[in-house]
Structure formats: structure tokens, C-alpha cells
Structure 1
Amino acid sequence: MILKGFKEKSNKKYLNKLLNERQGRVDDSKIESLGVIFNYDETGNFEQFRKLADKLKVRPNKVKIIAFSEREIELQSTWDVCYTFKDFGWKGAVNNSELQAFIKTEFDALISFYNNDILELKLMTALSKAKFKIGVLQDDERLNDFILKTKLNEFDVFENELFKYLTILNKI
């Protein structure tokens, strides 16, 4: 138990360092690739993100979706990656090769769709090399470049608002 607490403190310190060094850079490039991080325990609907990517006119081979769950779940064949607490080590180290590949991918946009204050979700968002980070309102506003204040159970509202603002920002 003590080691778990030290590990969490180590990861929080690393996350803080990442967020303090982060510089938001937004350009007017179009969104051609999309990454999505969501909390399966909050919203279990995986297909809604595929439909959103379709609406944003992102080709299916340019979409990567990962889910986080606090418990082990059975993966369906349509999932890209599902990860848990076990996939993280000390100082923000990612022990899963699929997650490392996700982090290193330079998406044109990353959607962080979660509300719960879970360190591993925040680490994935902060570590991502995405050019433009989009999220729902969270405790730490340094995580995302663009924040939509919507409820997770109102995905239609999120989708419509996102489409509207991305059109205004000339991203789609």
C-alpha cells in the first residue's frame, strides 16, 4: 500500500511537470487524424466515437480510440486498446507498447472524453503528441487546448458543439 501511494505521488509530480512545460500551439491545419481517450466506466459506448470521426470526415484508418477502465474488462474485437492502472509504472512510465504507440502518434486532434479525476487518464492526455487537444470540462484546464462544457451522457450536444466550433476554427 505504501509503495502504491509513492507511485501515485511520483506520477502526479511527473504530470505536473508535463503540464507546466506544455505550450499550447493551435494552427489552422485541418483535422485528418483523430485520437480518442475515454473512460469506459463513465461512458461505455465505443461506437459513438466512430460516428463522430465519420461526421468530422476522418478516414477510419486515421482514427485510434483507447479506453480506460478501473477494472479488467473483456475486450471486443472492435476495440483499439483498453488499459488499466497496471499499464503505468513510476514517473509516468507507460508499460504497454500499444499505449506507447498511441502517445507517440501525432494526431491532428485528440479528444479526451472523461470527467473523473483519474491520474492515468490525465497522463495519457498530457503525454500525447497530438497537435490540438479537445476535452470536456475537467479539474485541470491545462490538459486541453479547447474545452467544451458538456455532460458525458449528452454526447449529441458534445458532438454538435464540437462540429460547430471546429468549423469556426477552420479545422474541418
Structure 2
Amino acid sequence: MDWDEQLFAILDDLEQQAQALYDADRASELADRSRSEYAAVTLVSRLMASLDEDVTLDLLGVGPVSGRVRRVGPDWCLVHGSAQDWVVRLAAVKGVEGASARSVPEVAWSPVSRLRLGSALRRLADTAVPCRLHRVDGTTRDGVLTRVGADFAEMTVGEGRVVLAARETLSAVQSRS
């Protein structure tokens, strides 16, 4: 073997070693970047990717609620169960089974998907549908939502009595029709 062939063989070996070191360093950098990017994924973005999928939500004060995800907003979702709809406050969700492995970032949401929980509750109040209000402490109230304020919902129960429920105490509102 000539000296120039030996030199090229040594240089090729050094280049392969450098490429292997670069690949190993790059792999750990990509893994770190992937972990840091995933840290930005939210529950609501995973639920947004789960539209029209069957899920089970474990809710504070309610327990498991199963159904198909129909709508998702920044702080709520609508789940269509076997016989009724559930408007769920996302802050009351303890866990989710059956969610999509994907996520949809907020910049890709439609303008309708940006409506907050108050809008969903106002829609129930406008239809005057009988419903059951579930609180995070496990208590319930049956009645008709009549008005929705900035941080509360007004419900008519029994024979015209009006009850105000602080929004922070709500876990879900279940349609009763």
C-alpha cells in the first residue's frame, strides 16, 4: 500500500469517527429538543385532536364520563354520551382515556373553537333545556340555566327558585332531555 493510500485510509477513518461523534451528539440534541417541544403540548390541544373520537373523562365530583368529543374550547369540551350531552369544564378533568396521540396547536383552531365556557353555558341557557349541574365537590342541582355571568351561572330550580353557581365550582353540566 502506498503512503498516499495509507494517508487517505487514515483520513477516511478519522472522518468516519468524527461523523459517528457528530451523530451521537445530534441524537441527544434531538431527544432534548423533542422533550422540550412536547412540554408545550396541552390537554386541550390533545382533546382538539380527539374531535369525533370516543373518550372517557375522569371528572372531579362526577367520576368517569364516556362519549364522543364534539366540540372543544380553551377551557371546556362537549362530550356526547349515549343519552345526553356533557359540557365539561377542563379544569375539573382528572384524566382522559382514549385521547388522540396527536395534538392540534391553538394557532390551527377555528375561531369557533376559541369560545370559552361561558359561551357554551349561554347556549344551554338560550335553549332552556333541563340540565343537571355537577359540582367538583360531588353535589348536583337539577334545573334550567337561565343566565350566565362573568364568573357564575344562574339556574332556576324547583318552583322558580334561583340558584347562582360559581363557575370555579362547576365540574360539568349534563343535559337532561
Give the TM-score category using the shorter length.
under 0.3
TM-score by length of 1: 0.23
TM-score by length of 2: 0.22
Greater share of residues in strand = 2
Task: Identify the structure with bigger relative contact order (alpha carbons < 8 Å, sequence gap 6+).
Answer: 1
